[in-house]
């Protein structure tokens, strides 16, 4: 079977572009979710690049499951934990005590989400290069 790591990485880059577009349009909940997706897909790409399978959607967990030979992950794991908070709550109204998701996310959250996703993507790009 062909290694699809580069396909996952290409989609991660596109998801990050979507996050930026959503932020610019004021759709901060979608910017946060797209940033989480970008990070998740890029870490999955690294697993595939290394010949490993990766399961689940938790960025921090996917980062922790990388081989011990990859160093410098602690800070990225913490950033992944932040991004993981955008996987479900940014999309579903019943994830919050009241209000639609778009009422709970603003420019501060989307800026941070995009920045963290970009850092994870840059790290993976450097590993795959």
Q: End-to-end CA distance of the chain, in Å?
A: 21
What confidence score (pLDDT) does residue 39 get?
A: 98
DSSP reduced 3-state for 4: coil
Give the CATH number of the domain where residue 22 resides: 1.20.120.330
Tally of domains in the chain: 1
pTM above 0.85, yes or no: yes
Range(s) of the domain holding residue 96: 5-128
Q: What are the structure tokens assigned to 20, written together?
A: 């930026």
In the chain (129 residues long), the average pLDDT of successive 10-residue segments reads 89 98 98 98 97 94 96 96 97 96 97 98 95
């Amino acid at each position: 079977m062909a290694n699809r790591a580069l396909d996952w990485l290409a989609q991660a880059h596109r998801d990050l572009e979507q996050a930026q577009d959503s932020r610019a349009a004021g759709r901060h909940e979608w910017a946060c979710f797209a940033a989480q997706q970008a990070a998740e897909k890029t870490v999955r790409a690294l697993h595939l690049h290394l010949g490993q399978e990766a399961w689940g959607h938790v960025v921090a967990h996917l980062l922790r499951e990388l081989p011990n030979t990859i160093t410098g992950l602690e800070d990225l794991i913490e950033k992944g934990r932040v991004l993981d908070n955008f996987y479900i709550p940014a999309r579903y109204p019943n994830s919050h005590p009241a209000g639609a998701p778009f009422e709970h996310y603003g420019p501060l959250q989307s800026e941070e989400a995009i920045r963290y996703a970009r850092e994870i993507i840059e790290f993976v790009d450097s590993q795959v290069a």
